């Protein structure tokens, strides 16, 4: 009826054009005065909100949880977090009194090292890929002064294994078995610092020996700790890793060095929880774990972290990238504060600096080469500009030119792409394996084992394999999809050219990657690699577009549409597709290439 239609129109008008955007829409036929009587006027609601804010005393400086009283005695009373932190600090001393002291210092500096002049030290550090050592300050990337109440000195670097481990014959024997000739650059400086008992942050490119830099000091540290009371039994060392593949790899490294019967367990999701519980309860000195599964077992009272005196945060930047910070913080709160803490990272972002400042004690910062993002210089890097539909044929062509002894990792962005490529290669009678997050853990382990043993020479992988994966004889990295993050590019390239060997990396770049072209050019130039002219043109076009957006926000393109979102997508009043363009004509951003598979038969 006309009355019902008028009521609906009135309701619609009130909801769309009412005086207050926060006001609930009145039902059809209900006048404003009746609505206010039922739900309260806008002024009354505003006062009510203010009363609640005053009651709970919420401020921007106070986290949301601070509105609750911890003891539930008065739920409206604000918690004094600063007082709680002071109380916790005071309680820390009494909380850990029953534990024996942590013994950290095991380093005896040989006369040859102790007598090195400042010039000798600087020359050795420069020779070892420009090692830079400094006291860490959270406000800057590097700082050469310790905290005001710190009276420590940075040990000189070493250049032979015996300089660090001359008192540890078993360690020297194990090193000899592995066939190492000399310490890697980061090991030259990290071993003296770790054996002195200092916290340190090791920043170096992938494949530079960071794992052994903390592992050998950990073995010595564990062997020399006094025993805890029988009621407090647990691991002495905890190594946190971002991925299960890296955790397994570290576990395998521990097993190579059978030092004084020290046992280790590896804990990660996607594998048998029952078996992992059995390993932990049988008694181990080292636990290598991913944060999620470790928290699970700690909350189940399977693992007691109070006995941990040596903590390693391996690939800390990757763990934070993956969103593990809440789990890491929870784990750190369960470990005694006088522990020795080591952090490794391939990059040095703000989040990593913040964690280091909060949870490490006077750490020494060691970085090899530069703190800026850089790829391993032992890898030749080539760039191929391509269309999306050409990529698979380019991969096939490259595979056809591989030598018999080559091993290659093909990196892609999507799990579906990994499955599609591996299926198509197998259909063409090309043996390969694939690894990504949706595959069962046993299948992932088998894929890596097949590549190591040479059963297959091609591994199709997502970025799950870009960090920490250490297969010494990888000769080629093929970036089928250029990663969105240049940090991931560096880690992918670092899968080859490891342990002093040379490697080769080729990356397919499409027009969709133009936003990454500038940063990619910087990485190539820093490593002394050739930069294609087409890549420079792509970077220039992107920069021009960004400058235009900055100088003329909301400018119209030649079709009269505005760049309303600042992302190079211009919106008019016609029909639009899901990407913000009208039939692909009015987008200043390059068109998205066809993502469908166009395999040739």
Residues 141 and 173 reside in one and the same domain: yes
Q: Which long-range contacts (CB under 8 A, 24 or more apart) does 444-450 make?
A: 444/244, 444/245, 445/248, 448/245
Whether the CB-CB separation of 30 and 15 falls below 8 Å is answered with: no
pLDDT tens-place string over residues 107-140: 999 999 999 999 999 999 998 888 999 998 755 4
pLDDT tens-place string over residues 139-194: 544 444 444 445 578 999 999 999 999 999 999 998 998 888 899 999 999 999 99
Q: Exposed e or buried b for every residue in 240-267, given b needs 16+ CB within 10 A?
A: bbbbbbbbbbbbebbeebebeebebbbb
Residues 385 and 525 reside in one and the same domain: yes
User: Order of strands across the sheet with 503-509?
Assistant: 379-385, 503-509, 476-479, 408-411, 458-461, 433-435
**Is there a domain that residue 421 lies in?**
yes
**Over 80: is that where the pLDDT of 295 sits?**
yes
| Residues contacting 153, CB < 8 A, separation 6+ | none
**Is there a domain that residue 600 lies in?**
no
The pLDDT value given to residue 370? 63
* Residue 586 token pair: 């009015």
The answer to which of 343-352, 448-457, 513-522, 546-555 has the lowest mean pLDDT is 546-555
Residues 399 and 350 reside in one and the same domain: no
* Residue 183 token pair: 């310490």
The chain-wide mean pLDDT, for the chain, equals 79
Residues 252 and 304 reside in one and the same domain: yes
pLDDT band at 87 (very low <50, low <70, confident <90, very high): low
The pLDDT value given to residue 505? 95
Residues 298 and 392 reside in one and the same domain: no
* Dihedral angle computed from the Cα positions of residues 84, 87, 88 and 93, in that order, rounded to the nearest 10 degrees: 180
Percentage above 90 pLDDT, the chain: 49
pLDDT tens-place string over residues 371-381: 666 667 789 99
pLDDT tens-place string over residues 194-212: 999 999 999 887 677 889 9
CATH number, domain of 438, equals 3.40.50.300
**Is there a domain that residue 559 lies in?**
no
Query: Who has greater pLDDT, 560 or 268?
Result: 268
pTM of this prediction exceeds 0.75: no
Residues 197 and 86 reside in one and the same domain: no
**Is there a domain that residue 273 lies in?**
yes
**Is there a domain that residue 191 lies in?**
yes
Residues 348 and 472 reside in one and the same domain: no
**Over 90: is that where the pLDDT of 476 sits?**
yes
Cα separation, 474 vs 495, whole angstroms: 7
Secondary structure of residue 424 in the 3-state scheme: helix
**Is there a domain that residue 573 lies in?**
no
Q: How many domains does the chain have?
A: 3
The pLDDT value given to residue 556? 56
**Over 80: is that where the pLDDT of 249 sits?**
yes
pLDDT tens-place string over residues 27-57: 444 445 554 544 455 555 555 545 444 444 4
Residue 479: closest CA among 421, 438, 426? 421
User: Order of strands across the sheet with 364-368?
Assistant: 131-135, 364-368, 200-203, 340-345, 310-313, 237-240, 286-289, 264-267
Cα separation, 211 vs 25, whole angstroms: 62
Whether the CB-CB separation of 505 and 498 falls below 8 Å is answered with: no
* Dihedral angle computed from the Cα positions of residues 266, 269, 271 and 277, in that order, rounded to the nearest 10 degrees: 60
Residue 175: closest CA among 201, 213, 223? 213
The pLDDT value given to residue 204? 82
Whether the CB-CB separation of 270 and 289 falls below 8 Å is answered with: no
pLDDT band at 424 (very low <50, low <70, confident <90, very high): very high
Q: 218: which DSSP letter?
A: H
Q: By residue range, what is the domain housing residue 313?
A: 111-223+233-368
**Is there a domain that residue 575 lies in?**
no
């Amino acid at each position: 009826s006309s009355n019902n239609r008028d009521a609906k129109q009135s309701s619609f008008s009130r909801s769309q054009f009412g005086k207050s955007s926060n006001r609930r829409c009145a039902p059809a036929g209900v006048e404003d005065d009746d609505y206010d009587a039922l739900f309260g006027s806008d002024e009354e609601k505003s006062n009510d909100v203010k009363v609640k804010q005053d009651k709970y005393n919420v401020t921007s400086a106070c986290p949301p949880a601070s509105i609750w009283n911890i003891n539930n005695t008065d739920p409206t009373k604000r918690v004094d977090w600063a007082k709680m932190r002071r109380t916790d600090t005071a309680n820390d001393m009494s909380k850990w009194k029953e534990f024996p002291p942590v013994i950290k210092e095991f380093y005896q500096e040989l006369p040859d090292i102790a007598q090195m002049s400042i010039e000798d030290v600087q020359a050795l550090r420069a020779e070892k890929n420009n090692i830079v050592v400094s006291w860490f300050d959270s406000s800057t990337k590097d700082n050469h002064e310790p905290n005001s109440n710190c009276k420590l000195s940075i040990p000189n670097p070493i250049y032979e294994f015996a300089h660090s481990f001359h008192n540890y014959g078993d360690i020297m024997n194990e090193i000899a078995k592995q066939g190492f000739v000399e310490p890697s650059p980061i090991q030259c400086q990290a071993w003296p610092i770790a054996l002195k008992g200092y916290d340190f942050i090791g920043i170096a490119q992938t494949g530079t020996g960071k794992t052994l830099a903390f592992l050998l000091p950990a073995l010595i540290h564990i062997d020399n700790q006094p025993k805890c009371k029988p009621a407090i039994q647990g691991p002495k060392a905890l190594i946190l890793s971002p991925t299960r593949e890296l955790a397994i790899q570290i576990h395998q490294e521990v097993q190579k060095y059978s030092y004084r019967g020290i046992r280790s367990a590896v804990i990660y999701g996607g594998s048998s929880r029952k078996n992992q519980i059995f390993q932990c309860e049988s008694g181990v000195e080292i636990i290598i774990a991913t944060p999620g599964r470790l928290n699970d077992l700690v909350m189940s009272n399977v693992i007691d972290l109070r006995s941990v005196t040596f903590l390693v945060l391996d690939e800390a930047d990757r763990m934070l990238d993956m969103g593990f910070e809440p789990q890491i913080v929870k784990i750190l709160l369960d470990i005694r504060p006088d522990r020795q803490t080591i952090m490794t990272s391939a990059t040095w972002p703000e989040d990593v600096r913040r964690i280091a400042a909060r949870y490490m004690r006077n750490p020494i910062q060691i970085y090899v080469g530069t703190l800026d993002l850089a790829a391993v210089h032992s890898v030749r890097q080539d760039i191929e500009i391509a269309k999306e539909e050409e990529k698979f044929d380019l991969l096939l062509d490259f595979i056809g030119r591989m030598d018999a002894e080559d091993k290659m990792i093909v990196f892609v962005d999507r799990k579906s792409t990994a499955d599609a490529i591996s299926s198509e290669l197998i259909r063409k009678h090309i043996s390969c394996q694939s690894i990504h997050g949706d595959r069962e853990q046993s299948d992932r382990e088998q894929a890596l084992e097949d590549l190591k043993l040479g059963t297959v020479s091609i591994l199709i992988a997502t970025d799950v394999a870009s960090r920490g994966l250490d297969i010494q004889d990888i000769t080629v990295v093929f970036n089928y999809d250029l990663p969105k993050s240049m940090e991931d590019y560096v880690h992918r390239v670092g899968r080859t050219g490891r342990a002093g060997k040379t490697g080769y990396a080729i990356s397919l770049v499409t027009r969709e990657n133009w936003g990454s072209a500038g940063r990619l050019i910087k990485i190539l130039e820093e490593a002394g690699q050739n930069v294609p002219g087409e890549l420079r043109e792509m970077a220039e076009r992107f920069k021009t577009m960004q400058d235009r957006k900055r100088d003329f926000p909301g400018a119209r393109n030649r079709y009269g549409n505005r760049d309303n979102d600042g992302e190079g997508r211009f919106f008019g009043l016609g029909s639009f597709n899901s990407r913000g363009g009208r039939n692909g004509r009015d987008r200043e951003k390059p068109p998205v290439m066809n993502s469908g598979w166009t395999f040739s038969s």
